[in-house]
Amino acid sequence: MLRFIYTLLLSIVSPLLIYSLYKKKEGKPAFGRRWKEHFGCTPSLNTTQAPIWIHAVSVGESIAAAPIIKALKKQNPQQPILVTTTTSTGAEQIEKLGDLVEHRYMPIDFCFAVRGFLKATKPEKMLIMETELWPNTLHTVAKFGIPISVLNARLSEKSFLGYKKVQPIFNLLGKHLTHVCCQYKDDADRFVALGIQPEKVHVTGSVKFDIEITEQIQESGVILRKQLGEDRAIWIATSTHKGEDEQVLAAHRSLLHKIPNALLILVPRHPERFNSVFELCQGADFKTVKRTSNQTLTPDCQIYLGDTMGEMLTLIGASDICFMGGSLLGDKVGGHNVLEPIALNVPTITGPSYFNFSEIVNTLIAHEACVVTTKDNLSVSLLSLLTNQESATKLASNAFQFLQRQQGAIERTIKILKLTNGAK
């Protein structure tokens, strides 16, 4: 009865969900003829072996899935891997994995759509990145006898309280899960408190700690730094959101009064905002150059706009300091992953709103490995690190050592997944 009511409500709101999904935005790839896949009209796979199915809803989850996919393929190169995303930007991210995987769009949470998908793809097991749980999907997948595991799972206190309010619905979800591999003990405790059997819940750590910085990435950062200017102070504001760019620009303007040749690399979180942020920078009278313009930077350039996808590590590697965006907007976003700049040995600053990564950031603060600042003090924090090399080096070193101690989540996750081998 609960699933019937849920499906009825989903039918009512689905036109709005579909409109939001298909709405055209600048920089957002189009679904094209593949829109049918959202309704279970899924092309079959070119393999006779059952694939491992990994669902990564969008860009963030796709990035987190990549090292797990590589580890699975290293373990068994012949194992087919199917990755689904809901969004076209997520699909674009998965395309970077090339022949390692096949991609399909995730069917909408109607039983008929999920059944169509399963009949076409015949997966061996389902792996869900983070906590993308849908009642009809889990019910239908379990009915087909396919084990379901949640990887890199997170359950914030806010989400936990939300699920508690609809405990009967969560009971429908939880009973179908074979394993829940959590990032932290707090996440695991919340899943158990919601009724997941303790033997199904594991603390494997966050796969985000297992960041691989290749020689190619390091070299590309060095090359870019030479192009931007080795003798100038360079900081990057990455993954910024609407309403935050203005605060970053204000901090940069203040910094320029103290360090006139300072350069800001500005990287908006969403590609559809690249052009509007470029116009914002120009409207504020900053000499701004887009990365895609391939212009040679002159010494008077003040902002370098990172308007490309997949080059974040290169841009961070060319910087002296990294400010992680999504952290200056109160409770709207909750911050982004600070571990990438840390893995590159770049001193890292975040704003006060980092609740999505509170455990990581709070531990970093305790180890004197990260700076938290407000929008009013951002320029002060930047100036302090840019003019005190010893302090900046210590901050980066403390953070890098912390990162190394936390690694190993992928190996632990793969061991858990072996427990489901042959279980169907």
CB contact at 8 A, 330 and 353:
yes
| CB burial of residue 300 (10 Å; 0-12, 13-18, 19+) | exposed
Catalytic entry in 37, 61, 102, 244: 61
61: annotated active-site residue: yes
Q: If DSSP codes are grouped into helix, strand and coil, which group holds residue 95?
A: helix
Query: What is the 8-class DSSP label of residue 76?
Result: -
* Of residues 90, 309, 357, 320, the one with CA closest to residue 209: 357
2-22 helix and 135-143 helix, angle to the nearest 10 degrees: 110
> What is the C-alpha separation between 386 and 364, in angstroms, rounded?
20
Residue listed under structure tokens 């290293």: 74
Distance, in Å, from the CA atom of 200 to the CA atom of 275, rounded to the nearest integer, reads 46
Q: Which residues contact 403 (CB under 8 A, 6 or more apart)?
A: 209, 211, 339, 342, 343
Cα–Cα distance measured from residue 181 to residue 204, given in angstroms and rounded to the nearest whole number: 6
Positions annotated as catalytic residues are: 61
